[in-house]
Amino acid sequence: MGETQRTAIITGGGRGIGAEVARKLAEDGMNIAIFDLDQAGLDSIGAELKAKGHNVLTISADVSNEESVAAAVQRVADELGAPTVVVNNAGIIRDNLLFKMSVSDWDLVMGVHLRGAFLVSREAQKHMVQAKWGRIINLSSTSALGNRGQANYAAAKAGMQGFTKTLALELGRYGVTANAIAPGFIETEMTAATAERLGLSFEDFVAASAAKIPVQRTGKPADIANAVSFFASENSGFVSGQVLYVAGGPKA
């Protein structure tokens, strides 16, 4: 629907959930810009999408760095088109029980999730306000409800929800929606790292997790990409400030 070709920025799109979001939004017809630190991941997803005929720009950028973000967003506007869709997906974990958590692990997690989402959204909103249309989609997590060993990550992911609702209030008058997706267990390198920390094989960790999930399976990146596609679509303009748990069962 509509003739306007949208341009989407996906942060942390070099692998995992972000890479799948890039594939999905490309299939939806958008130009795709991917920011990531991991050059090998960028090269791989960039080549894959180009081979399928999509317009794609991959940029090595640290979302927690103000200059890096400003330069990257400007490059997208110059080379692909005004970025009016942003998916704040870049993320890291630095898990530890509170008494063992270092200040640097606290700061790193806040820096990527919260500062990163703030910086990318602040740069991109100029283009959205000018276009009088925009979609901001932030990755929260079921950990926002509290998760042992993740005081930093849980605080950041709860923070993403407050950030999202505030953007919805501020930017709604410009045709911009902001929504958050809170995934449960999704099979990626992030959950593989958690299994390793717990001393479990990934297969055992997946099986044990699936048994506790109402739909009796763990999530795949495509489960999240599908939700992103809904929030990003032209027809979702009346859905804003929401947090959608995509976790195979109810969470609140």
- Which residues are known catalytic residues? 153
- Displacement of CA 78 from its chain's centroid (Å): 23
CA distance linking residue 151 with residue 213, whole number of Å: 23
What contacts 18, CB < 8 A, 6 or more positions away?
10, 11, 12, 34, 36, 87, 89, 90
Least Å distance, CB 168 to ligand NAP, is: 19
58 binds ligand NAP (CB under 6 A): no
Least Å distance, CB 157 to ligand NAP, is: 7
Of the candidate residues 141, 152, 164, 240, the single one contacting ligand NAP (CB under 6 A): 141
12 binds ligand NAP (CB under 6 A): yes
Q: Which is nearer to ligand NAP, 89 or 161 (CB)?
A: 89
CA distance linking residue 71 with residue 61, whole number of Å: 9
Nearest of 158, 154, 176, 159 to residue 167 by alpha carbon: 176
Least Å distance, CB 202 to ligand NAP, is: 12
Phi, psi of 242 (to 5 degrees): -100, 155
Q: Is there a contact between 32 and 86 (Cβ–Cβ < 8 Å)?
A: no
Q: Which is nearer to ligand NAP, 129 or 210 (CB)?
A: 210
Q: Which is nearer to ligand NAP, 32 or 92 (CB)?
A: 92
46 binds ligand NAP (CB under 6 A): no
Structure tokens at 233: 């679509």
3-state secondary structure (DSSP) of residue 74: helix
69 binds ligand NAP (CB under 6 A): no
248 binds ligand NAP (CB under 6 A): no
196 binds ligand NAP (CB under 6 A): no
Least Å distance, CB 229 to ligand NAP, is: 15
CA distance linking residue 223 with residue 86, whole number of Å: 18
Residues of the shown chain interacting with ligand NAP in the complex, contacts defined by CB under 6 A = 11-12, 14-18, 35-38, 41, 62-64, 89-92, 112, 116, 139, 141, 183, 185-186, 188-191
